[in-house]
Amino acid sequence: MNIELRPNGHKVTWEDIMEKVAHDDMGKTDVMVHSSLMEAVDERVGTDHTLKLRISDDEPRVLHGLTPFALAQLSERLDIPSEYLERIPVDMQVTDLNYDLWRLANSTDARKSHAFFIRLKNGHIRACLTSRYQALDNKALLDLISVLPNMEDYSISWFYLDDGRLWGEIINDKTFRFDGDDIIKMGVRFGNSEVGLRSITIKPVIYRITTHGKHNTILVHAKDVYQHPHTGSKELMLQKINDAMAVCETVAKQGVDSYIKSREEIVEQPREIIEAIAKRQRITKKFLNVIHAMYDFEPGLNKYAVINAFTRAAQSLSGDKRVEMEALAGRILVSKLPSRIVDMSEPETDVLTPAPKRASRVVTV
């Protein structure tokens, strides 16, 4: 299930996204289960074998399937390599999981939680989290943000929802600056995951509307905003989110100043610089072609044109991929780019160093 709303000729309202979230919430339930009550089962139908999980003595016949991500969380919690578990037959999965569930249930290590916070949808397990996990669901986040002071000054510029993530973006329509014929606005990007895929995130954004009616977003590179795992008091999380929303506009204004000044930062070989950044950030050749096409649409011998090439290209992406590309643009904004490709050997900025390889880490908090 992937839902994406953009105001292409019509206004996206809070009612629109609340309706999408309410529909997505149907069939969702949570249960705290001690590991001693959990049992992996090989459900056989003909020659087909399916891994299922029993999570209650009260309903021994009720078996639950697991999403691949939930299975990865379970395996990490039990110290079973997820890559190994995915490759072995179901009967071996059952044997390994039940042994390690028994081992966890009988562990005397006080640092380990013996319970799981299980999140289900229509009886299917979507997350296997620890008992320390504090649920702050999509509806609660939207309920908080939608009633903040001066929210009537904001419009929704992007909304994305899938089985694991929510992203939203709101733009202040009453606070803006002119940059030539373009309009630069400031806003807030917020993100959440109900299944441990990401932390709660509040970030400032710069929103540019061009004379062609096109828009692009830069995720401002700033550390003094909110990014927090689902732990601790729910009330404290909500208060910190409220505080972060207030900070975002100030940080975004600083970003706008840097963005407009980036027109003055000369880049003599922008296409070569774009290609070098893409290579070091492990961007595919196919998407690099999209970035080059966006640069050709609006060329320029400055950092401003380089940034806009990445943010325009990001509009063709969805979910985390779009956010990551717009965050890369924010890193370019605060970095000192070399003017020519011959200068690229000097490690002047983090955006030009190789991106770290992604580890197969699964959040189980």
Nearest Cα residue to 119 out of 214, 239, 28:
28
Q: What angle do CA 51, 54, 55 make, to 5 degrees?
A: 135
Residue entry with tokens 């995720």? 219
Nearest to 165 by CA among 128, 126, 223: 126
End-to-end CA distance of the chain: 24
At 26, which amino acid appears?
Answer: M
Asked whether the beta carbons of 190 and 145 are under 8 A apart, the reply is yes
pLDDT value at position 21?
Answer: 97
Q: Which residues are bridge partners to 33 per DSSP? A: 116
**Tens digit of pLDDT for each residue in 292-303?**
999 999 999 999
Q: Which ranges of the chain have pLDDT less than 70?
A: 9, 57-58, 213, 222-224, 342-365
Q: According to the model, what pLDDT value does residue 361 have?
A: 47
- Structure confidence by residue, pLDDT tens digits, 56-95: 866 777 999 999 999 999 999 999 999 999 999 999 999 9
Spatial neighbors of 151 by CB under 8 A, at least 6 apart, are: 145, 170
Where along the chain do its domains lie? 3-25+136-263, 28-121, 265-352
Distance CA 341, CA 90 (A): 53
